[in-house]
Structure 1
Amino acid sequence: MANGRLDGRKALITGGARGIGAAVAQALAQAGAAVMIGDVLADLAKQTARGIAQTGARAGAVALDVSDDAQWARAVGTVVDELGGFDILINNAGIEITSLVADLQAADLRRMCEINVVGVGLGLKHAFRAMRPGGEAGRGGAVVNVSSVAATIAFPAIAGYSATKSAVDRLTRVAAMEAGKLGYGIRVNCVYPGLTPTEMGMKLATDIVANKLAPDVESAVSAVVAQTPLGRLATVDEIADAIVFLCSDDARFITGAGMPVDGGMGM
């Protein structure tokens, strides 16, 4: 990745304290952006930001429950005030609660919708208000929403999660159309990551075993690898590199797109 691709850009990454979000924050900073990590894990977010700052990049952290409209307003204000602008939003925060369809719980479905759908929708809202002409930042920008390969395939025990990640895809495309038609100067895209060996990814493998869909975690992971033409799991850095590309001027004529970063699993 070329340093300097995002020089002068100011980014907010939700769910950036760990996993894919932390890798994205690091990659954006490496490419020249100043980054703000928004997360409910406030202490871990600060720790991740400190680690990025030690590389010489500008980095900070802000408490953010993405399902809370007022917290979004405060977080965006913090980004503008502390970083001096707002050009990039990465809607990465998300949760997955595994369940067979016959065992679905209303509370679990509502919780996933609150974080995965409402959270992304509110992020788009506040990014648009800040980045569009006349907004707090007012220079346009780029939004990348993190969907999932689960939005493109039928995989057992993740019906609720798949539904919410499919909604992220639709939010992306409508938002991109609105931003273009209204002259906001904001590009909106999404990525579909494949399974990565993060805490969340490995919990899914454990849950698959608990639901008697695989005899052990190794078999659960092997089943995913067997469905992936490139024959392995994704790395967080591979997801992050794709997101940096979509934020950069290299992708200046790309909006309303969904980019698979799944080793071919969803094709």
Structure 2
Amino acid sequence: MNNLRVIFGLLIGLAAMMARADLSESVFVPKEEMEFAKGYLSEVRERNYEYVFSHIDPELSSQVSEEKLDEIAAYFPSGQLLSTVLIGSQVHTYNEVWQGNFTFEYQFESGWAVANAALQRKADKMTVIGFNVYRTKASQKELNKFELTGKSALHYLVLLAACIVPVFIIVSVFYCIKTPIHKRKWLWVLFVLGGIGTMSINWSTGALGFKIAEYQLLGAGVVASGEYAPWILSVGFPLGAMVFWFKRKSFIEQDKASKLSQQNASNDDTSA
């Protein structure tokens, strides 16, 4: 288990270099819209319902009442607000309609909460098309950190496969390059180099995901979209590597037969 910790720790360290601690500073996050979402959720928490209703999209307004807003606002913990951090941002434009979803983590004296607001801009008018709040036991950074303790057998099985499969593939690629394959050798190398299909596991929740039509380089991967996001570990089936080892003996025999045939032909020419 210690070896697994070291190997996977290196993978996590590499992935963590790509994550930003302060997502709000990212060039990919629209600042004006992000601040609008943050301010809107603040007005929900303060129960400023006149402001809240004035920015709700007409299609949503009929579904929201003051009683519902009271229920949502009550999910914010009591006491002084200590910090607000942007932990998620998704934006896209479709048919000239811009939409964005911003998620924030709140730390209060009495606990933690996560809230998000979905925005829409149509004809230069910004409206809110959805929002929610829920409490958490701790910071998402703490809840989603990578730990080996307290995990299920399935967690460990996927982790073990994610460590073994890349090693198996790398060794197979080395032997594939060294093996005399006379036709389309580069295609064989590409086939061996990846895994076919993936099984992924959310390391925090244990939720599984499957993709059949997918090619994964080296047959395994680990990714987290940020410090506050869960680690997603994925592993593919090393079909190419397994087929190569099954056929390697025949490749070698074919090469020997080809060389022997060439040698016999050369001897015949010499005799003549």
Both proteins in one fold, TM over 0.5: no
TM-score (norm 1): 0.21
Larger Rg: 2
TM-score (norm 2): 0.20
> Which structure's residues are more often strand, by fraction?
2
Higher relative contact order (CA 8 A, sep 6+): 1
